[in-house]
């Protein structure tokens, strides 16, 4: 029996997120269907990150236990032939049986895109948030630095999560502008549910002048979800990579 680590890209537009559900199509189900077809027996995969409906991935990671004789470097091609074109397996690697994609993750990087212009760009409607009000890039960059470090991010977590601790470490958070697009890139050792989208919504409020950059430490310390900004919409978010 081999443990296969797969790196997977997908366009989340047409899926109800990663995780298998009874009554809705998900990326995990499509990947399992392809594995079942290619490996000839019922297959179940374990994903690293439960991305939400409409959220995208360049480097989701999932594992599969299989006794296939297909050479490992051919597995992406075999699976891609059985997958719809909005899901692509980019890499398959043999890993220890003990390797777990979620518990073994050392850091994850997400990207959030905002089109900041008078009018939306139709080609980006499923891949970026649109905001017609001018955002102050420099203020957003100033505010971003206050998130870096180890903090209790309870104020930046959707309610209802059942995690042991809401302390997380953000290693880097950058805000850049490319043409009409503002791009947030955040790397951390782990993230709470909706944390990147709530940080984005809060930085958007900073960009609009509703919150000053210096207020961020107070909002973090409050541990109060109401003090932070809104949850930015899912389509702007992409899981870029996971490091082990």
What are the φ and ψ backbone dihedral angles of 126, each rounded to 5 degrees?
Answer: -100, 5
Nearer Cβ to a second copy (72/148) = 72
Q: What is the largest CA-CA distance in the chain?
A: 59
Q: Which is nearer to a second copy, 76 or 101 (CB)?
A: 76
Smallest distance from a second copy to CB 123, Å: 5
Q: How far is the CB of 121 from a second copy (least distance, A)?
A: 6
- Are 189 and 169 spatial neighbours (Cβ–Cβ below 8 Å)? yes
Q: Give yes or no: 52 in active site.
A: yes
Q: How many angstroms separate the CA atoms of 189 and 105, rounded?
A: 8
The 10 Å CB-count burial string (b at 16+, else e) for 60-96 is bbbbbebebeeeeeebbebbbebbbeebbbeebeebe
Take residue 205 and report the two structure tokens written for it.
């409020």
Cα torsion 60, 61, 67, 71: sign: positive
**Considering the complex, what minimum distance in angstroms separates the CB of residue 167 from a second copy?**
33
CB 161 → a second copy: shortest distance, Å?
28
Q: How far is the CB of 99 from a second copy (least distance, A)?
A: 22
Nearer to a second copy, 93 or 152 (CB): 93
- The kind and range of the H/E element at 51 are none
Considering the complex, state which of residue 80 and residue 227 has its C-beta at the smaller distance from a second copy.
Answer: 80
Quick one: angle between helices 195-207 and 137-145, nearest 10? 130
CB neighbours of residue 25 within 10 Å: 14
Half-sphere exposure of 68 (CA within 13 A, CB side): 24
Pick the catalytic residue: 11, 52, 96, 136? Answer: 52
Nearer to a second copy, 66 or 235 (CB): 235
Instruction: Give the binding site for a second copy (CB under 8 A).
Output: 9-11, 56, 58, 76, 80, 85-90, 118-123, 125, 127, 238
Q: Please, where are the H alpha helices in 65-115?
A: 75-82
Residues classed as catalytic: 52
């Amino acid at each position: 029996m081999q443990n296969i680590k797969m790196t997977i890209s997908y366009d989340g537009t047409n899926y109800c997120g990663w995780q298998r559900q009874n009554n809705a199509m998900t990326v995990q189900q499509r990947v399992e269907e392809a594995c079942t077809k290619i490996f000839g027996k019922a297959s179940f995969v374990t994903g690293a990150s439960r991305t939400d409906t409409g959220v995208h991935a360049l480097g989701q990671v999932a594992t599969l236990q299989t006794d296939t004789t297909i050479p490992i470097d051919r597995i992406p091609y075999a699976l891609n032939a059985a997958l719809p074109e909005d899901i692509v397996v980019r890499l398959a690697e043999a890993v220890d049986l003990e390797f777990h994609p979620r518990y073994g993750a050392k850091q994850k990087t997400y990207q959030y895109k905002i089109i900041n212009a008078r009018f939306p760009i139709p080609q980006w409607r499923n891949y970026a948030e649109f905001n017609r009000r001018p955002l102050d890039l420099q203020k957003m960059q100033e505010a971003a630095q206050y998130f870096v470090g180890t903090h209790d991010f309870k104020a930046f977590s959707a309610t209802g999560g059942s995690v042991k601790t809401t302390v997380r470490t953000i290693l880097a958070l950058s805000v850049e502008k490319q043409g009409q697009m503002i791009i947030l890139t955040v790397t951390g050792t782990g993230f709470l549910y909706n944390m990147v989208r709530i940080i984005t919504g809060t930085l958007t409020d900073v960009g609009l002048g509703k919150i000053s950059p210096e207020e961020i430490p107070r909002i973090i310390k409050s541990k109060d979800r109401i003090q932070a900004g809104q949850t930015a919409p899912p389509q702007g978010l992409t899981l870029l990579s996971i490091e082990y």
